[in-house]
Amino acid sequence: MRGVLKGFALTAGFGGALGICISLAIAQAPPSERKSGFEFMSPESQATQQDDFSNPGMLWVAEGEALWNAKAGATGRSCAECHGDAAVSMKGVAARYPVFFAGSGRPIDLQSRINVCRKTNQDTTPFPLESRELLALSAFIGRQSRGMPITTGEDKRLDPFRARGQELYEQRQGQLNFSCANCHDNNWGRRLASSVIPQSHPTGYPLYRLEWQGLGSLQRRLRNCMIGVRAEPYPYGSQEYVELELFLMTRAMGMPLETPAVRP
Amino acid sequence: MAAALVLLALLSSQAMAQDVRPYEIVGDAIPVPLTGAKGDPARGRAIVVDRQRGLCLLCHAGPFPEQRFQGNLAPDLAGVGTRWSEGQLRLKIVDSRRLNPATIMPPYYAMDSLVRVGRNWQDKPVLSAEQVEDVVAFLTTLTETP
């Protein structure tokens, strides 16, 4: 959190820095009231996530490590040849995504950023979104930031996109006419049938969901909720998902990354 | 006030949604059945506990001992027939937004002012007029408070 405040102080300049820090703190839920979905789980599921030998997400992490070191594309280069040891070069990276991508003038999420690298530096085709390979590489890169505080959203160029994400979060939609906020801000901790509603902090993606029997992205999870309220989900890769992720990650600023998390 | 509500309801339900029959709101109620006839409580109970059709138990609990996993986002349905009249229950189901714009109760028999409705759900209300009447008929029988 100190780093975050420092970043704002630098951009805001001398006189206004303190005021901006205070208003930021008020706009977001106080850290003491923010809870990861982890805290709503049974002790058994929590233990499954915390033990690398029982966490099924670690299978994807291992596969991602193999992909990291594998030569690919016309250039025959592996990720490791440019980036070196991921434990060093990728440390903290997933904790700050989505980031502003100058190439498009828009925010980009980690999965799409991996695909940009594949195209420009490996000269090969992108992995399909939600493919096993792309989830595996994302999980491996995410794993390098496990336990680190989320820092997404410090770049001022992200502000209008984050604001749009918040609008989407608060927009009622679907035949059942629910916004994300209706449940995850106003009714977290209550039960929707058998499920306890969490606060929707995306602290562990990609994550292993027992309901999926597999690893999935935040986009997949957002689609689940949209289908639940009988709304038309956006296609994978849509700008709306990136903006929602940007808003949610900024909202979770300071919370530790858990990738690969386990959820019911 | 009541007259204005009536006019609004007639205008919007006719203009926006051809498949939704016009109905008349009087105060905080729709006194007359949407179908002109009372519904069937047994069919209504089946809809209420059905998690694909009525969806009620996702948010509400109620006197349904055989049903596991009842929600607690909304008031318990036990005794709801003593708390509200038939006409009040009808409006709450048809379109609770008319009573409270901030409600999370879905509008079961309205199609106006909805955003990004899924392809499979477009141009139809959550429940048909007959189903709404069955649910109303059932809820009025829930007169025992816990």
Domain A35-53+155-263: give its CATH architecture: Orthogonal Bundle (1.10)
Segment A91-102, tens digit of pLDDT: 999 999 999 999
Per-residue 3-state assignment (H helix, E strand, C coil) for B13-44: HHHHCCCCCCCCCECCECCCCCCCCCCCHHHH
Q: What is the pLDDT of residues A129-139, one digit of tens each?
A: 999 999 999 99
Q: With an 8 Å Cβ cutoff, are A191 and B71 in contact?
A: yes
Residue A21 is labelled as binding a ligand: no
The pLDDT of residue B19 is 75
Strand boundaries in B52-130, DSSP class E? none
Contact residues for A132 (Cβ-Cβ < 8 A; gap 6+): A60, A63
DSSP character string of A131-158: -HHHHHHHHHHHHTTTTSBP-TT-SGGG
Q: Are A256 and A147 in contact (CB under 8 A)?
A: yes
Q: Which of A177, A197, A231 sits opposite B118 (nearest CB)?
A: A231
Average pLDDT in chain A: 90
The residue of chain B with its CA nearest to that of A176 is: B106
Nearest to A114 by CA among A88, A139, A147, A92: A139
- Condensed to tens digits (0 to 9), the pLDDT of residues B98-144 reads 999 999 999 999 999 999 999 999 999 999 999 999 999 999 999 99
Question: For A182-210, what is each residue's pLDDT tens digit?
Answer: 999 999 999 999 999 999 999 999 999 99
Under an 8 A CB cutoff, do A230 and B118 touch? yes
Name the residue among A237, A29, A254 with its Cα closest to residue A130. Answer: A237
Using CA coordinates, name the residue in chain A closest to B71. A193
Q: Which CATH code is given to the segment(s) A57-143?
A: 1.10.760.10
**Chain A within 8 Å of B114 (Cβ-Cβ)?**
yes
Judged by CB atoms closer than 8 Å, whether chains meet at B115 and A173 is answered as yes
Cα distance between residue A51 and residue A260, in whole Å: 11
Number of H-type helices and E-type strands within chain A: 12, 7
Among residues B135, B142, B146, B134, which one has the least CA distance to residue B40? Answer: B134
**Over 50: is that where the pLDDT of A15 sits?**
no
Rounded to a whole number, what is the distance in Å from the CA of B45 to chain A's nearest CA?
17
Considering chain A, tell me which residue range(s) the CATH 1.10.760.10 domain(s) occupy.
35-53+155-263, 57-143
Give CA–CA dist B68/B70, Å, rounded. 6
Domains, chain B, ranges and CATH? Answer: 2-139 (1.10.760.10)
Look up the pTM and report it.
0.87
Which residue of chain B comes nearest to A172, CA vs CA? B115
